[in-house]
Amino acid sequence: MRDIINDAMDVHGGKGIMLGPTNYLMRIYQALPISITVEGANILTRNMIIFGQGAMRCHPCLMDEILAVNQGEEGLDKFDETLARHVAHVLVSGARAFVLGLTNTLLCKNNATKRTMSHLSAALAFSTELVLTIVGGQLKRRERVSARLGDALSYLYLGTATIAHFENNGRPDDEKLLLQWVISYNAYHAQEALYALANNLPCTAGFVLKRVCFPFGRSYKQASDKLDHQITQLVLNPTPVRERLIDGIYFPEEDGQALYDLNKAFNLAVTSEAAEQKIKQARRDGIIANDDLDAALAADVVNSEEAESIRVAIEARMKVIQVDHFAPEEYSGGHI
């Protein structure tokens, strides 16, 4: 959330920092520490709660082993059974991580996203067992270790949730680029979290983790600039993908409301884009000296209807860009 709002503030520039009725970002920016504080500081959630507590409750064997131990002699048979299941889980996780790491680049492209998440899930499972073997019940106190495992888990959660959303929506072709970008992003960061974990384990353990989970080294890369550009075009134009992404967002229907004005300016900019391109091309060709709209109209570069659409779009754009301004007497009272 912090990254999204900070990026939005960068894009808006002065519009984002000048407080006033039409600034729809500043109050969100100010409220960020409130929205991310759940159980104490946000760092507490990352360092202790996500994995420190989650490992005990979500592990397929740990809780059963502890309960069996607490039963004394009556729980010996159950403990032996659970321990055997635990050992099998470790071996299967390690084997899956190693085999999927070896064959990842040879797998069918249609299954690439699911295979990627499966490989990293197996890598996380094996890494968890390795860490538990080393630190045991000290996992909560080894906060950076717990945090890195929690980071990997979070990125895998986001990746698998995206795949599920894509599948549930009927695998739309126009969302495949988005899926590719999301999987690239989350796979890369999950991989980096596990590598950082390996680099901070005892030498032998770190070596084993890397060789088992990533036999060829770092195989997941961040999305390319080309893919970034393609994704940007999907949301900078009124595409069905963009409409699905903003579905559920409330847009006011009254002129003067910030989101209404912003959406109106976007639609008008799209409508007038072709006419504005004509003017730019005419300037490059030397037909007109600059981007003056009246000169373009006089030179028949655009017709009157196109010129009007450009004027309306410029007015809407300037209305959105302008910051709030107040007379001295309005501001002297204190808060606006």
Same domain, 226 and 262: no
Same domain, 32 and 49: no
pLDDT, average across residues 88-102 = 87
Same domain, 223 and 263: no
184 or 289, higher pLDDT: 184
Active-site hit among 39, 254, 305, 330 = 39
pLDDT, average across residues 119-126 = 92
Q: Can you tell me the distance from the alpha carbon of 275 to that of 279, in angstroms, rounded to the nearest whole number?
A: 7
Same domain, 63 and 165: yes
Same domain, 32 and 125: no
pLDDT score of 330: 73
Residue 104 placed within a domain: yes
pLDDT, average across residues 278-301 = 87
Last residue of a domain, one of 212, 244, 276: 244
Q: Which domain holds residue 12?
A: 1-36
Same domain, 128 and 276: no
pLDDT score of 108: 42
Is position 143 annotated as part of the catalytic site? no
Same domain, 66 and 147: yes
58 or 252, higher pLDDT: 252
Q: Which two tokens stand for residue 84?
A: 């055997």
Last residue of a domain, one of 244, 276, 298: 244
Residue 126 placed within a domain: yes
pLDDT, average across residues 184-195 = 96
For the chain, the domain total comes to: 3
Residue 230 placed within a domain: yes
Residue 89 placed within a domain: yes
Q: What is the mean pLDDT of the chain?
A: 86
256 or 186, higher pLDDT: 186
Q: Can you tell me the distance from the alpha carbon of 60 to that of 249, in angstroms, rounded to the nearest whole number?
A: 39
DSSP string, 187-215: HHHHHHHHHHHHHTS-HHHHHHHHHHH-T
Q: Can you tell me the distance from the alpha carbon of 288 to that of 294, in angstroms, rounded to the nearest whole number?
A: 10
Query: Among 189, 187, 208, which residue's Cα sits nearest to residue 199?
Result: 208
When mean pLDDT is compared over 34-48, 185-199, 225-239, the highest value belongs to 185-199
Same domain, 137 and 229: yes
Please write the tens of the pLDDT for every residue from 16-72: 888 888 888 988 998 888 877 766 667 777 887 788 777 777 777 777 777 787 777
Contact between residue 171 and residue 184 where contact means Cβ atoms under 8 Å apart: no
- Judge residue 88's burial from the number of C-beta atoms within 10 Å of its C-beta, 0-12 exposed, 13-18 middle, 19 or more buried: exposed
Contact between residue 271 and residue 309 where contact means Cβ atoms under 8 Å apart: yes
Please write the tens of the pLDDT for every residue from 133-185: 888 777 777 888 888 999 999 999 999 999 999 999 999 999 999 999 999 99
∠ CA 75-81-83, nearest 5°, is: 95
Q: Which two tokens stand for residue 259?
A: 């989101």
pLDDT score of 197: 93
pLDDT score of 335: 55
Residue 250 placed within a domain: no
Contact between residue 260 and residue 251 where contact means Cβ atoms under 8 Å apart: yes
Same domain, 52 and 7: no
The CB-side HSE value for 204 (13 A sphere, CA atoms) comes to 2
Residue 180 placed within a domain: yes
Q: Which two tokens stand for residue 99?
A: 């085999």
List the end-to-end C-alpha distance of the chain, in Å, as a whole number: 27
- Judge residue 80's burial from the number of C-beta atoms within 10 Å of its C-beta, 0-12 exposed, 13-18 middle, 19 or more buried: exposed
Same domain, 73 and 118: yes
Same domain, 185 and 279: no
Contact between residue 159 and residue 182 where contact means Cβ atoms under 8 Å apart: yes
